[in-house]
Amino acid sequence: MSKVYLSAELPGVAVEKLRANGLEVESYTGSDLISHEELSKKVSNVDFLITTLSTKVDKEIIEAAPKLKLIANFGAGFNNIDIVYAKTKKIIVTNTPRVSTNSVAEVTMGLILALSHRIVEGDHQMRQSGFPGWAPLYFLGHEIAGKNLGIVGLGNIGSEVARRANSLDMKVSYNKPNQLSDPEERALRVVYQPFDELIQTSDYISINAPLTSKNHHQFNASIFKQMKKTASLINVARGPIVDENDLLNALKTGEIAGAALDVYENEPKVNNAFKDLKNVILTPHIGNATIEARNAMADIVADNVISASKGQLPHFVVNK
């Protein structure tokens, strides 16, 4: 019987499917993330590994798994896996794209609205000191209608952010390596801008791009100086795209107005200095944390393992 190891507990649908197809399943059940040392031991005799974005699967882990045929990553990204080395060992690596698109797009818009109307800040105040009563100039925020939203990265998620922003009467521009065709731009009601222009004209900047070697610390001190002082940055993509020390300085000195972060440069660690700022919203990587998205992701990883166990090519291979 082929063995599957799960580096974290998954929605029940995944385990049910795997066992129904005759696979032996073991799952890590600790309250913390699985350690590198424990994962190395657990994969020594498994055929398939289902792992998460928070778990590093490097050369050492791959070397510790001589029987491994497939690494099914529970997430759209796969920065946590050495996919090049896996390929040299003829190990297939897959991911779970697209199914988290709606959830992440909704969270993006939620963060924009929360920043604009100071919702988190207001909730905190109500729980602490309360408020003195309604007054014309009290706790003012901003409407997002008519404001400029610049989207960096216009893939599946960025496109859904654009659609939602349009429905709220925002003006949407974007930047990505390959500009869309004119019909595509018209359909999405978006306008292409060079990166520097987008940075300088946007009231809100949403990062919806994958992490690459080219965009590591793309948002740094130089970029923050070019942004409007009234602008806010939203990052639901990957933490290392933003230089957090530079962002912290920009927020403290008023170079930009605010930020909302769902991902972090040294995740899961968060720079404690952010916690002292009222103009920052911090969420624990909940972009696709919905029952709908996680069940769909569980379906994909289970189906991919089942396909591989039958000698079939799984879907969404990232190291062809």
User: Mind telling me the catalytic residues?
Assistant: 238, 267, 285
Buried b vs exposed e over 231-268: b needs ≥16 C-beta within 10 Å?
A: bbbbbbbbbbbbbbebbbebbeeebbbbbbbbbbbebe
Please, which residues bridge with residue 280 across strands? 259
What CA–CA distances, in Å, run from 240 to 155, 175, 229?
19, 18, 23
Both structure tokens of 291: 């029952």
Question: Which helix (H) or strand (E) is 94 found in, with range?
Answer: strand 92-94
Contact yes or no for 146/199 (Cβ under 8 A): no
- Supply the DSSP string of 32-75, one letter for each residue: SPPPHHHHHHHGGG-SEEEEETTS-B-HHHHHT-TT--EEEEES
- β-sheet with 24-27: strand ranges across: 24-27, 3-6, 48-52, 70-74, 92-94
CA distance 3 to 143: 54
Contact yes or no for 121/166 (Cβ under 8 A): no
Both structure tokens of 43: 């994969």
Amino acid (1-letter code) at residue 193? Q
Query: How far, in whole angstroms, is CA 314 from its chain's centroid?
Result: 23
Residue carrying the six token digits 């882990």: 61
